[in-house]
């Protein structure tokens, strides 16, 4: 920590630890999410599929309501963890882009509310469905079930954008000590492209691409989990390496020469 000014030794260390904690909160997202969806809500594996009857849907929402609603509360707790994880990763992207306009950082930051809003919408509707299911007909329950699954499965494009931007940022990291090893960029490209298998679920009410099947749900979920684990671990590692090597400046501005277009040699001045 040789670059720390002597009169403020503790603040940077606390900030470093917080950054690492935020990075690892991605694991918290996964754990909370899976605990909520599997044992509490019995939401995964899909209890009521596109070819199931309205009576089955109504029965699902009418039973185990306490456990279901508690699972929704747990999911709600996962949402701020997603924010903390997202900004931890985006902060590293910001450091990579510290000499240029940080548009990859902005793309990631802009994706966070899209994803959180999607989860929150799911929680609202699922909560309402289990709040008073006796007031709804089986047909209405079928529609709500379909709606919930479409919300749950369909919105992966912002996550893909996020992953692609992260991969690009890592590839473009020109610093002598890059934050992430290059293979992490390829994991991001892999995840970003292969999470999209579920985007065709609207066309199918059965088969492998429906919202309850392997390409609609299980494969994108697996890819998402792998991606979050890798990014959590590698972001924490990036923070540790930066700090422990004492390479972190307290401020970014004023430390690098201004970026020029390089055309001065042909007479064009910036």
Partner 1 sequence: MATAANAPTHPRTAPHLPGETGVWVFIIGDMVAFAVMFGSYMYEQRGAPLSFLASQQALDVTVGTINTVLLLTGSLFVAYGVRAARAGTGRASVLFGLGFACGLGFVINKAVEFGGKFADGINPTTDTFFAYFFFMAGVHLLHVLGGMAVLAYLGRVARRPVLNGKEIRVVENGASYWHLVDVLWIVLFPLLYLVH
In the Cβ-directed half-sphere of 237, how many Cα atoms lie within 13 Å? 12
- Number of residues this chain uses to bind partner 1 (CB under 8 A): 22
Nearer to partner 1 among residue 124 and residue 186 (C-beta): 186
Nearer to partner 1 among residue 40 and residue 164 (C-beta): 164
| Cβ proximity of 152 and 50 under 8 Å | no
Nearer to partner 1 among residue 102 and residue 216 (C-beta): 216
Please tell me the total number of residues recorded for the chain in this structure. 270
Least Å from the CB of residue 128 to partner 1: 31
- State the binding string over 177-216 for partner 1 (x if CB under 8 A, else -): ----xxxxxxx-xx---x--x--x--xx-xxxx----xx-
Residue corresponding to tokens 């934050």: 179
Angle at alpha carbon of residue 80, lines to 219 and 122, rounded to 5° = 55
Q: Does 160 bind partner 1 (CB under 8 A)?
A: no
Binders of partner 1 in range 218-247 (CB under 8 A) = 219, 223
Q: What is the dihedral of CA 224, 230, 233, 234, to 10 degrees?
A: -130
| Cβ proximity of 12 and 248 under 8 Å | yes
- State the binding string over 30-49 for partner 1 (x if CB under 8 A, else -): --------------------
Binders of partner 1 in range 163-182 (CB under 8 A) = 181-182
Report CA-CA distances (Å) from 250 to 1, 18, 45, 232, 246: 11, 15, 48, 23, 10
| Cβ proximity of 70 and 123 under 8 Å | no
Q: Does 108 bind partner 1 (CB under 8 A)?
A: no
Q: Does 217 bind partner 1 (CB under 8 A)?
A: no
Nearer to partner 1 among residue 96 and residue 248 (C-beta): 96
Q: What is the dihedral of CA 165, 171, 175, 177, to 10 degrees?
A: 110
Q: Could you list the residues that contact partner 1 (CB under 8 A)? A: 181-187, 189-190, 194, 197, 200, 203-204, 206-209, 214-215, 219, 223
């Amino acid at each position: 920590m040789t670059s720390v000014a002597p009169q403020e030794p503790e603040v940077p260390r606390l900030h470093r630890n917080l950054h690492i904690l935020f990075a690892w909160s991605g694991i918290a997202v996964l754990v909370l999410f899976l605990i909520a969806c599997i044992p509490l809500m019995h939401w995964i594996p899909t209890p009521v599929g596109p070819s199931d009857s309205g009576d089955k849907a109504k029965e699902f929402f009418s039973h185990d309501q306490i456990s279901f609603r508690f699972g929704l509360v747990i999911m709600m707790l996962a949402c701020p963890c997603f924010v903390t994880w997202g900004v931890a990763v985006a902060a590293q992207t910001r450091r990579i882009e510290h000499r240029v306009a940080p548009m990859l950082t902005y793309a990631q930051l802009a994706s966070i509310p899209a994803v959180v809003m999607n989860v929150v919408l799911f929680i609202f509707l699922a909560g309402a469905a289990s709040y008073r299911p006796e007031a709804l007909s089986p047909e209405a329950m079928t529609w709500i079930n379909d709606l919930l699954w479409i919300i749950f499965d369909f919105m992966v494009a912002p996550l893909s954008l996020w992953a692609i931007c992260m991969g690009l940022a890592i590839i473009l990291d020109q610093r002598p000590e890059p934050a992430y090893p290059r293979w992490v960029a390829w994991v991001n490209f892999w995840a970003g492209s292969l999470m999209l298998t579920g985007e065709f679920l609207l066309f199918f009410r059965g088969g492998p691409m429906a919202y309850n099947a392997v390409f609609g749900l299980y494969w994108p979920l697996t890819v998402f989990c792998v991606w979050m684990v890798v990014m959590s671990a590698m972001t924490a590692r990036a923070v540790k390496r930066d700090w422990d090597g004492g390479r972190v400046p307290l401020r970014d501005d004023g430390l690098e020469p201004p970026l020029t277009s390089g055309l001065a040699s042909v007479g064009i001045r910036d």
